[in-house]
Structure 1
Amino acid sequence: MAGPRSRSQSRSRSRLRPGQAADETPLWRRLLWMVGIWGLSVAALGVVAWLLRLWIAP
């Protein structure tokens, strides 16, 4: 059925592709996100290790 497009359909075609927005983001901002996520993962692993040490140690 070839009827007129709804507003949501015409808007969805004009949106950026998922990978396109990252290409326009500055490198320093992408690196900052990467370092931040890495730092939080290291901190989370440290907390888990500390809790295991408290649980196992007498």
Structure 2
Amino acid sequence: MEITESLFVVADELTEEGELFRFDTGDQTLYFNVDGTDASEVAVTTVQAGVTLHASDLLVV
């Protein structure tokens, strides 16, 4: 499954419902949440400092 921009955000916190993936630049962690809320967030991976992720970098199989 290709991740689109509408499902991905680069932010310190969720900005709107429906965002399934959030990349937090503060702690360099990619989070997934099943229902678009902070309560369901799970850390997927942490990357090196300086890395910038985009929706097009993600592929779910």
Q: Which of the five TM-score ranges fits, normalised by the shorter chain? A: under 0.3
Compute the TM-score of the two structures, normalised by the length of structure 2.
0.18
Q: Which has the higher strand share?
A: 2
- Of structures 1 and 2, the one with the larger relative CO (CA 8 A, separation 6+) is 2
